[in-house]
Amino acid sequence: MNLLERHKSFAKLHEEGCFIMPNPWDIGSAQMMAALGAKALATTSSGHAFTLGKKDMGHVSREEALAHASDIVRATPLPVNGDLENGYGDAPDVVAETIRLAAEAGLSGCSIEDVATSQSDNFYPINLAVERVKAAADAANSLDQPFIFTARADGVMLGVYDMDEAIARVIAFEKAGADAVYVPIPPSLADIKRLCEAVSIPVNALAAGPFVKHSHSEFAAAGVRRISLGSAIARATHRIILDSVSAMLSEGDFSPLGHSISGDEVEKLIEKGST
């Protein structure tokens, strides 16, 4: 599947139904996810930051993020969405340039947050947040390819504003031209349903934290079009590192390693996912 076909495929996935979009953090994990049946992939800013020994939110440069995204695009035949934090700048024209660079990197879409820096209380006022979304949407619409631009309202997740404010923002983001919206970790599935009913464009939901107890069918029934995992799979992998290495170094216990899979199985999945 060439890049244009991937972009068209990604756009089509947003037209109906509810699909799961796993988040790899390196080439091998991307290929495994593709081999296991994923229809699309998405980068994870924190998962990628972990591989660089850095913190999330403002500690990875735009150049690093886009180079990583390009690696994930080349790893499999699947369309890829980019987690591009706040667009790597406050000004609307910087965000627009990030959209153009994302397309050059081969991405089929991306998400941009309304948080200004790594400080959780530093969010763009709604007027500036909308200006940034409009600039991003205009840049996406000017591309010679389909490109799904997702506008994020992250204040609920970080405890800065409530669902009423988040819904007001995503309604404004839709009017400004966003193709999809995303409010990570709202209080409940009922709030996700409320969000889906407030807009006419696709809604992304995050299956992480308390939401892992809900099934794909429950998200779909709430009106969700796309489910992503963020850094959840990467952090689950890091949990294994923590548990197994702690056990062996503190107690001489290697038994947690008994849950691993064979190298042959990993290699077969990587080979399958790369083609």
Q: Residue 223 is part of a domain; what is its CATH number?
A: 3.20.20.60
Kind plus residue range of the DSSP H or E element containing 119: none
The two three-digit tokens of residue 32, written as one number: 């495994």
Q: Considering the chain, what is the average pLDDT of its residues?
A: 95
Residue from 75, 12, 72 nearest 4 by CA: 12
The share of the chain scoring above pLDDT 90, in percent, equals 92
- Which amino acid belongs to residue 205? A
| Residue 240 counted as domain residue | no
Q: Are 235 and 212 in contact (CB under 8 A)?
A: no
Residue 253 lies in a domain: no
State the DSSP code for 106: T
Within a domain: 273: no
Per-residue pLDDT, 122: 83
Report residue 211's pLDDT band, with 50, 70 and 90 as the boundaries. Answer: very high
Domain span at residue 46 reads 3-232
pLDDT for 58 beyond 90: no
Confidence label for 198 from pLDDT (cuts 50, 70 and 90):
very high
Q: DSSP letters of 205-217?
A: EE--GGGGGS-HH
Distance CA 245, CA 154 (A): 34
- List the one residue out of 132, 147, 41 whose CA is nearest residue 101: 147
CB neighbour list of residue 140: distance below 8 Å, 6 or more residues apart: 99, 103, 147, 148, 149, 177, 179
Q: Do the domain assignments include residue 55?
A: yes
What is the average pLDDT across 82-92?
Answer: 96
Q: Which residues contact 244 (CB under 8 A, 6 or more apart)?
A: 254, 256, 257
Classify residue 74: in a domain, yes or no.
Answer: yes
For the entire predicted model, the pTM comes to 0.95
Q: Is 23 exposed, middle or buried (0-12, 13-18, 19+ CB in 10 A)?
A: buried
* Contact call for residues 27 and 225 (beta carbons, < 8 A): no
| Model pLDDT, residue 258 | 87
Residue 86, both tokens:
């706040």
Q: How many folded domains does the chain comprise?
A: 1
Q: What is the pLDDT of residue 121?
A: 61
Name every residue whose Cβ is closer than 8 Å to that of residue 68 and which is 6 or more positions away in sequence.
43, 48
pLDDT at 55: 84
State pLDDT tens for residues 62-76.
999 999 999 999 999
Q: What is the mean pLDDT of residues 164-185?
A: 98
Confidence at residue 40, expressed as pLDDT on a 0 to 100 scale: 98
**What is d(CA 178, CA 40) in angstroms, rounded to the nearest whole number?**
20
Specify if 255 maps to a domain.
no
Q: Could you count the other beta carbons within 10 Å of the beta carbon of residue 174?
A: 19
- Give the per-residue pLDDT at 56: 82
Predicted pLDDT at 201:
98
Q: Is 148 helix (H, G, I), strand (E, B) or coil?
A: strand
Query: What local confidence, expressed as pLDDT, does residue 52 receive?
Result: 92
pLDDT greater than 90 at residue 57: no
Q: Is residue 145 part of a domain?
A: yes
Binned at pLDDT 50, 70 and 90, residue 1 comes out as confident
The answer to whether the CB of 113 falls within 8 A of the CB of 156 is no
Q: pLDDT tens, 96-150?
A: 999 999 999 999 999 999 998 655 568 899 999 999 999 999 999 999 999 999 9
> Quick one: pLDDT at residue 119?
53
pLDDT (tens digit, 9 = 90+) per residue, 223-270? 999 999 999 999 999 999 999 999 999 999 999 998 889 999 999 999
